Amino acid sequence: MDTASSHPNKEAARGNRTYTYYHAGPLFTLAELHANVLLSQAIHRISDGKFTALLPQDHEPRGAVTPHGIRDKDIRGLLNCDLALITYDGTELDSGTVVEYMVAKMADIPSVILRSDFRGGGDQEGGEPWNLMTSHWPRTKGVVVDAMLEYKKGLADGIRDARSGGLAANAAAGSDLVETTALRCVEAMEEVLKTPARMPKELRGHVYQWIGLMAGFSDGGDVDNVQEMTNLLAAKEQKGMFE
């Protein structure tokens, strides 16, 4: 089976492209909402605009909508992005985030898992600090940052130089933590982009058609939803996301 297209200039072409990524993770508290925004801005800046986030907190409908409608909006948003950034913080992983990660893997979307929680977790002694069932999936890179350790390092340095812009030591330390985390996320995104597609060409159409049915979207009907996913697959192939 052919698992990836070959092209002599694909690395050069990929370097000139811009990509969207779905910023999956908890979005329920002030800290979570603010961190999502700060990290997405830093990733965009550090990557020189190569990676732009779709933040669910920005596009999720609110008001007179159903839980089904909110879920549909998130799944469609994820599927329409080129990559996924999955935030795995907390003593227990956010269940919605895990579902989004599994959908990304069903669609063969390159993904980065980020954990900044210094408390550790999971059931893999010496392995990744999250549940083993969400490890070892293709086209995925884990990024583990000890947020408290990195913050304390920055705090100990105080206002080191002009980069702090006169900010208090804790503000400078927080800013450095975001920058460090964003840089590692960008590096991981670059790495997963170079990973060959796992889904064979001859299966893609069937898989994406099934996704259109599997999701049970509340609008559009089966025929329209299958066509939507067929069109989405064609756009991804045209962009080179299955190379």
Residue 166's pLDDT band (boundaries 50, 70, 90)?
Answer: low
Alpha helices in 47-166 (DSSP H): 56-59, 67-80, 95-106, 147-157
For the chain, the domains span 14-198, 200-243
pLDDT value, residue 64: 63
pLDDT of residue 233: 99
Query: What pLDDT was estimated at residue 4?
Result: 46
CA quadruple 129, 114, 179, 36: dihedral sign: negative
- pLDDT at residue 128 is higher than 90: no
197-206 pLDDT, tens digit each: 999 999 999 9
| 16 has pLDDT over 90 | no
Torsion on CA atoms 149, 151, 154, 155, rounded to nearest 10: -110
pLDDT in tens, 47-61: 999 999 999 999 877
For residue 215, give the DSSP letter. Answer: T
Q: Which of the pair, 4 or 187, is modelled with greater confidence?
A: 187
Residue closest to 131 by CA, chosen among 139, 116, 120: 120
Contact 79/232 with Cβ under 8 angstroms? yes
The model's pLDDT over 33-48, given as tens digits with 9 standing for 90+, comes to: 999 999 999 999 999 9
Provide CATH code, domain 14-198: 3.40.50.450
Q: 132-157, pLDDT tens digit by residue?
A: 999 999 999 999 999 999 999 888 87
φ/ψ of residue 37, rounded to 5: -65, -50
pLDDT confidence of residue 162: 44
Query: Residue 75: pLDDT band by 50, 70, 90 thresholds?
Result: very high
Query: Distance between CA atoms of 199 and 190, rounded to whole angstroms?
Result: 19
Instruction: Indicate the residue type of 22.
Output: Y
Question: Which pLDDT value is given to residue 9?
Answer: 58
Band (62; pLDDT cuts 50, 70, 90): confident
pLDDT of residue 31: 95
- Residue whose C-alpha is closest to residue 100's, from 87, 91, 89, 90: 87
Confidence of residue 170 (pLDDT cuts 50, 70, 90): confident
